[in-house]
Structure formats: structure tokens, C-alpha cells
Structure 1
């Protein structure tokens, strides 16, 4: 609804609209009250009573997103009604299960602002209730994901397995023993195993895990394994192909992408540093073929077929599970 900036709202009409909207609000005729409040706002009658009345109507009508947007807008004004709006805003976040956002907002208020004494206890209560409900919600969601995980394992739906791990990672959940045991199963997709290992690293999992991958079996502490881009062989390969960044940015970006996909599938059984030159040349050969260009490379006498096949196999495995944007 456009604001009528150049049209005057006569005092009697304004008073009538205010009284009618207040009565409708009091009698819980929220749709009618909202219509009259919007008309007042359309004439730039945007007092606290009018704005807060509209917020109440929107909340009661279940239009929480609109109410939240208005709150976020008026809170930026930092006017004398800031904490009244903030209280409404926190209530909306609580009612819509946005517990994390509510907790962050309360933490910020107590850290950077002087919260009025009359509101401190209410904010503390909202914070504590949100914290407990957030934990309960995470437990419920984790339970649902674990049921979906069991189904994905049974049906060998590897993409679904990877997606569930990503969701559990985002929740900072911890895998159970049954999930960890899958790291030694030969029929678990290598991309899924990598995702599980990175998940363990992100939650600072500090126990020994057994991994079987690519015909090898190792026991490692996830936190002691170098991240992909920090590995010596990856650094060396990257330094070799880095010359292309200025010469042919498109080819360079493609090679970096192929390199990451290759190492992701292999992880943590990455190639040794001595193989870096072969892998870099193989990547260049694959990239040139993809882009239908010719490269004048020294060292073509090296037998790269095995590396090219390995990289292309890993690329197929990666893209079968993960869809890069």
C-alpha cells in the first residue's frame, strides 16, 4: 500500500480511525483492525500505538514473517520504544521456533546495551526456555535423521547418506558407534566416508577411528589429519598448476575444482608428494580435453594414463553424490 504523502488526514477522521481500530483490536477483530491501522499508516500516522497494534494483528493472524520484518525495520531506528519493539520481536522469534536467533539477540543486548531492569528477567526466561527447546528440537531432529540414515544405508542411497551427514554436521551432532563402524565397510561410498571424517574433525572428535578405503586400512585421530588443502602433495600440485591462473583463468579454475574433487574422494589416503608432478600434468591433460584446447607441456613423456583414469574415476564418484553449484 503506497503512502499518501501529499494528502492530509483530517483530525476527526484520524481520531475515528484510531478509535475504531482500537475497538476492533480490543474485541479481537484483528483483520478489521489491521485494515484500519494500515489506512492510518498509509497517511504516515506511524506512532508506537499504531505500529505495535499492527504487529499484534499480524501475529494473531499468523502472519509472523511480516511482523518480524516490521520489527527488524523499526528496531534499526533505536528510538524510545526500542525495548517495547524488541520484546515483541523476541516473542515472534520464540513463537516461530527461531531459538538460535533469539538467543543471539538476547546475548547481544546484554553485551552491548543497558537492558531495562523490568525486562531483564523476561529476557533471561526467554533465553533459557529457548536454550532448552533448542536442545529438545535438535534431539528430535537428530532422531528423525538417524531413522532416515538407517533407511539410506539399507537402500544404499549414497546421495541421501551424504545429505544426512551434512545436516548432522550443521547441527554439530556426534555420530554414534554404529555410524563410525561404517568407515570400515567396503560397500560405503568413498565420498560418504570423507564427509564422515570431515564431520568428526569439525566436532573435535578426539578418539581413534578405523578407516578402510582404497584397499588400505588405517587407524587415525581425525584431528591429527591435515585438511585437504594443507596436505603437502596438494600444495605441491597447486603450486604447479598455479602458473595457469594468469595465462588461462578458466582452465585454472577447472583444474582447482578437479583437484579438490579428486582429493576429496581419496581423503585421507592422499597421494605422496613425489606424485605431484604426474597428477598436475594429468589434471592439465584432462582440463585441456574438457575445454578442447591444446597445451604445450614439457614432460609429456611421462606415462599419465593411470593418473588420468584415476582422476576421472574419482570425478565421476564425486559428481554422483555432490552437486556443485
Structure 2
């Protein structure tokens, strides 16, 4: 056998359209919040095409969702240096990661170079200027070594403005900073946010979760969805693990899991997200069949599966009008989540 023939037999011949298939599978896994799977698909695609924008960008998002922020930041930095993808789209993701890592000096250095080169597009200029100003102030605060336990008035004011602003990255940073071993002033800022009916219900859930992690033993009011209650973060129970929630999950498993495991996984994610948006309130009405039917219907609709309300209501033995009210509540929550993405 000739040497050339041996070489030909040793070549790895990729499947036709393999890159497109890997990109499609990666995006599908990302949308379904299966981040370990999406990371694997995008890494396989990068083995074939190292500068593939969708693969690099998808990998960065997957790393963020898996909590691997340092790796995600490094990847975005390399994309910017090598000109992979739309520069300002990558820069925005890179900046949001740096905020979570509290690397404000890096943000300042990066944005100052971009602004000096007059590269900012008009539709993004205001966002990056505000981010630069915010980061400069945080660098200044860090240089003064302000203790977390006793935040200076100027920093409290800055964090309060961020909390009540409309940039989700800054809001999350403010929550993390204020809830980390909070003093009386920090706690009061968080309490004021919790009892304001107009504020984001998802962020309120995050605040309570953070305070529960700190075992804050103090009563406070929370206002959500036109309801108010007094809670103590130190003894709030996880609604997802409550018997009612588990009964809903059991019903979904009986109706969906064997026929469509992927749809079942999606339904669990939607149910978990809805409960988190309500937290610490419970779903109303407390009817397992109604909520299982609603979650089933929403899962189908969000993922392009054709299904009629009458079909689902029959499967769960509930009335159309009742379970569609629950459907509306879940869709409202989904809109709120998209705002926070």
C-alpha cells in the first residue's frame, strides 16, 4: 500500500454541515438552559473553526451561566483582541462579567481606550459612559479601602442609585454588595426596595435569598403582585421543595416524562422560575392539577409544540378558563425574566 494511500485513510473527514449542526445544537441547549451541554457543543465547534463567532460567543455565555466567570472574561478579551464577532456586542458581555468579578479598574482601562479612539456607536454611547463613570467611582471607593461592614455615605448613595436604576448588571452588583454582612443602613436600603410595589419581583426574590444566606434574623415587609406580607429571611422555606410544588412535579412527570423527557426538563425549569418569581408567596390557587396543566401548556408553547388548551385541560381534568388564568401568570413571569436576561 502506498504512503499517499495510507495518509488518505488516516484523514478525519468531517460530516457534511457538521459546523452548522453543532452551532444549532449549542444554541438549542443554551435556550433550554442546559449549559454544560451547550458548552460541549460550542467547544467541539471551536475545534473545527477556532474563530467561529457564534461558537465563541455561545461558549462565553455558557461559562457565565456555569459560574466560570474568569474563563468567560478571558475568552471575551481574546475575542476583542482578535476581532471575532461584533465588537460592541462582545464588549457589553465582557463588561458585565467584569462587574460581577468586581474588576472595575479593568473596565475603566478598557473603556477609556475605546472612547479615546472614538469608537463608540451612538446607540451604545450612553450605556458605556454611565458604566465608565460608575466603575471609576468604584475604583476610587476600593482604593480608599472602605469596609463592607460600614459603607461610607457616598458609596451607599451610589449603590442605592444602582439598585433603583434600570441596568441589571449594576442592580445585581448593588444587591450583592448591600447584602454581604449588611449594617443597619444597607439593610434599610434593601428593605425599602422589598416593600416598593413597583420594583422588580425577581430582584426582590434575589434580595431575600441573599439575606437568607446571611441568616438575617429580622422582620421585613415585602410587596409583590399586589400582595404584602411580613417575612424573616432566617426562616423562609424553599417553596420549590414544599409538598405542593412536589405534587405538581409528580403530575408533570406522569403526563410528560416518558413521552418527551426534554419537554419534562423544560417544564421543571419553568415551574422553578415561576416559584422563584413568587418567592416567598405561594401560587394561588393551591390546586396541583391547575398549575401542572398551566406549566405543561406554557412549556409546549415556548418551545414551538402545537397544543390546544382543551387538549391540556382534558389531560389534567381541569376547566379551560381556570388553568388559562394560571397560564397568563406564568407568561407574565417569562416577560419579566426576558427583561433581566
TM-score normalised per structure 2: 0.48
> How big is the alpha-carbon RMSD for the aligned residues of Structure 1 and Structure 2?
2.9
> Matched residues in 2 for 1:268 and 1:223: separation?
12
Matches within 5 A, 1:238-277: 238-243=249-254, 244-272=256-284, 274-277=286-289
Alignment check: 8 A CA contact 2:162 2:174 kept: no
> Matched residues in 2 for 1:224 and 1:231: separation?
14
TM-score normalised per structure 1: 0.50
Could you give the per-residue CA deviations for residues 261-290 of structure 1, whole angstroms, max 9, x where no partner exists? 111111111215732211110111111122
Is the partner of 1:210 in helix, strand or coil? strand
2:320 is aligned to 302
Alignment check: 8 A CA contact 2:239 2:275 kept: yes
Q: Does 1:320 align with 2:323?
A: no
Equivalent in 185, 203, 206 of residue 196 of structure 2? 185
C-alpha deviation, 1:248, in angstroms: 1.4
Q: Does 1:164 align with 2:174?
A: yes
> Matched residues in 2 for 1:253 and 1:213: separation?
28
Bigger CA radius of gyration: 1
Is the partner of 2:320 in helix, strand or coil? coil
> Matched residues in 1 for 2:151 and 2:249: separation?
38
> Matched residues in 2 for 1:154 and 1:182: separation?
8
1:293 is aligned to 305
1:75 is aligned to none
Could you give the per-residue CA deviations for residues 77-103 of structure 1, whole angstroms, max 9, x where no partner exists? xxxxxxxxxxxxxxxxxxxxxxxxxxx
**Cα 1:154/1:308, change in 2 over 3 Å:** closer
Q: Does 1:213 align with 2:219?
A: no
2:67 is aligned to none
| Structure 2 unaligned regions, length at least 5 | 1-141
Alignment check: 8 A CA contact 1:236 1:273 kept: no
Aligned length, in residue pairs: 187
| Structure 1 unaligned regions, length at least 5 | 1-132
2:60 is aligned to none
